[in-house]
Chains A and B, each alone.
Chain A
Amino acid sequence: MEPAVAITALAKDHAGERALRGISLDIPNPCLFGLIGADGAGKSTLMNILATLADADSGQVRLLGHDLLKEFPAIRADIGYMPQRFSLYQDLSVLENLDFFADIFGITGEAKNERMEHLLAFAGLTPFKGRRAGLLSGGMKQKLALACTLVHQPRLLLLDEPTVGVDPVARRDFWDMLKSLRAQGISLIVSTPYMDEAALCDSLALLHKGSVLAKGTPAEMLASYPYRLYRVEAAADAKVSTLNYPGDKAPPPGFALIYPSGGALHAAELPGETSGTGDPLQRLRAAVPEAVCATVVPPSLEDCFFALLSRQVDGPEDAAMMAKPNAKSRGKKAAEKSEAGRSADGKKGKA
């Protein structure tokens, strides 16, 4: 079966910097596909190109069997795009917003009414259809925005960080909706800064500085975690139960990484015998006096994220910047990052 999206050597410069450096990626159909990566890794740039809002400099994209460059009008009828910022009309009611989007896509008459009823029910918004969009809670706004992108029955949805600012319960509901769309055979590409959401995807790509640093199913990503991971905890009766490890302090000997996670510390032990002497707990205790126990735990996707990104650093200076970003070449690095761009609104100035 043809993939939903086939990307080959896609590159894009943005104000003289590389935002995408020759990305190749196949996204099966149907699939709930997650795009993850640090700020400025290129996620939004890629989304904008797939949504036919920006042109790539080189490379090819086939999207639902169409050539992205040559057949974008056909593609637009097949995709639904939900941008990062809330883009509905705050002064229109829930129903009026849906009606507006239906008109734009030329859906009329009884078909329109049926479609709107269906989407209101799907988003759980039927009781609120007369309410002004601006007065909905954060979670409901996002559900309405999703409903509006579904009006014309797209086969592929592009969702750019759809759950930012949404509380945990509404976030769970929103992802239930995404999973149900996936079950109906719709493909979805979702970017997210939240690794617990990434874990809900069928497949993932981690972007870094405009390249695909890793891809695979969440299970594959977890299986390729290179370290032995310890969860380091304080005594049950310690006054302060939350351990912290300063970001600018080097990890204990034999450990590649150590960082706070859920009130405890996660410490990633280097494989092999590079680790110096003594058992791991002793080395951890020497660095974290409050630590009383260290248990080996399976990594989460967040642990994978840290491991993958920390191995990308080019040298000690870069490594220091990851932990405490005020090294000399910061300006250059930040410039690179910003080119990938968080937003497509084009207001970014150059220094």
Chain B
Amino acid sequence: MEYSIRTEQLTKRFGAFTAVDHIDVAVEKGEIFGFLGANGAGKTTAIRMLCGLLNPTSGQGSVAGFDILKETARIRTRIGYMSQKFSLYPDLSVEENLRLYGGLYGLSRKDLDLRIREMGDFLGLRDLLKRVTGSLPWGWQQRLSLACANLHSPEILFLDEPTGSVDPVSRRNFWDLIHRLSAQGTTIFITSHYMDEVEYCHRLSIMIDGRIAAMGSPRDLKREHGCASIHEMFLKLMEHKPLSEPKSLLKPNPSFESKPAAGGTPS
């Protein structure tokens, strides 16, 4: 089996607080993997370690076949990252944003022209290339964000809450794109708070207080927990957990937040 992402006992501590607590994850090539959890459960910290933006405290992992401790530079050229925070330049046109990100990834002018054409067709952005990004509806800006993260044809896409504030029709179109990318062999690692759409994932994990509390296909998870939907199962899992302090209290030191994400659009 070819794994795009694999971790063993991956752990991150900030002082006395364990944000990510010995997690084991294995994601196959081309799989759509939903990485779920409450606000502050440790998802973003885990993603940052996988993208090579944050060093683990202990444990190990590989992404696209490279070690997340020693080969972060090689990982970054093979992944795309789209963050929950919008990271495009609203005053630039759609094409200018694409050219900027293509340039950051080191694509040649020729490759960039080709990829902008391909991405433009694939994401339906072709007729919008000259439009000012900030004037587009939110769903379209999200699509452009996805195009920017995907310009350098990454093997793995990390999507951190890509569909927040997106209406049902745009959300459905977005997931259609995700499925097409997956069918082409791109691995998708995605977080969302919208439990209906995560049922479109091939497999899911649910993180609670830094640990993985459940993992499997949506169908198997529902069966195992005797729930009609993932939403119901999520609430059931969370009820067993005492209401704790918000984890963001112990937010990791801010220095890495400003570190440029060479592997994708900066957050």
Contact = CB atoms under 8 A, between A and B. Distances in A.
A and B bound?
yes
B218 to A, nearest CB: 5
B248 A169 contact: no
Interface residues of A, number: 63
A326 B219 contact: no
B132 A351 contact: yes
A314 to B, nearest CB: 16
B179 to A, nearest CB: 5
A338 B141 CA distance: 11
Contacts of B91: 349
A37 B167 contact: yes
Nearest to B243: A124
Given A136-B248, A165-B193, A194-B194, A241 B168 contact: no
B40 A302 contact: no
A166 B130 contact: no
Given A165-B84, A260-B175, A334 B136 contact: yes
Given A169-B238, A170-B38, A193 B135 contact: no
Contact of A331 (B131, B138, B166, B171): B131
B219 A263 contact: yes
A128 B193 CA distance: 24
A30 to B, nearest CB: 27
A211 to B, nearest CB: 16
A351 B193 contact: no
Contact of A338 (B125, B137, B196): B137
B231 A349 contact: no
B169 A322 contact: yes
B168 A302 contact: yes
A131 B249 CA distance: 9
Contact of B127 (A41, A164, A241, A331): A331
Contact of A242 (B84, B202, B231): B202
A295 interface: no
B195 A168 contact: yes
B199 A137 contact: no
A194 B165 CA distance: 8
B117 interface: no
B137 A39 contact: yes
B126 interface: yes
A349 B134 contact: yes
B180 interface: yes
Interface string A82-96: 001000000000000
A348 B134 contact: yes
B135 A338 contact: yes
A139 B172 CA distance: 25
Nearest to B38: A167
B67 interface: no
A324 B91 CA distance: 26
B1 interface: no
A135 interface: yes
A135 B39 contact: no
B9 interface: no
B231 A326 contact: no
- Name, among A136, A263, A337, the residue most crowded by chain B CB atoms within 10 Å (CB to CB): A263
Given A241-B219, A325-B124, A168 B231 contact: yes
Nearest to A234: B219
Contacts of A262: 196, 199, 229-230
Interface string B173-190: 101100110000000000
B235 A168 contact: yes
A167 B126 CA distance: 34
Interface in A160-183: 161, 164-172
Given A39-B137, A350-B135, A326 B126 contact: yes
Contacts of A161: 165
A309 B194 CA distance: 21
A328 interface: yes
A161 B163 CA distance: 13
- Name, among B140, B217, B246, the residue most crowded by chain A CB atoms within 10 Å (CB to CB): B246
B164 interface: yes
B17 to A, nearest CB: 13
Given A39-B138, A140-B246, A171-B193, A326 B131 contact: no
Contact of A306 (B131, B169, B231): B169
Interface string B233-264: 01100100000001111010000000000000
A305 interface: yes
Contact of A302 (B166, B179, B196): B196
Contacts of B65: none
A234 B126 CA distance: 35
B172 A247 contact: yes
Contacts of A58: none
A84 B164 CA distance: 12
Nearest to B140: A334
B189 to A, nearest CB: 16
B161 interface: yes
17 contacts: A136-B248, A139-B39, A166-B39, A167-B38, A168-B193, A193-B166, A193-B168, A241-B220, A242-B217, A242-B218, A246-B179, A326-B121, A334-B131, A347-B90, A349-B90, A349-B91, A350-B132
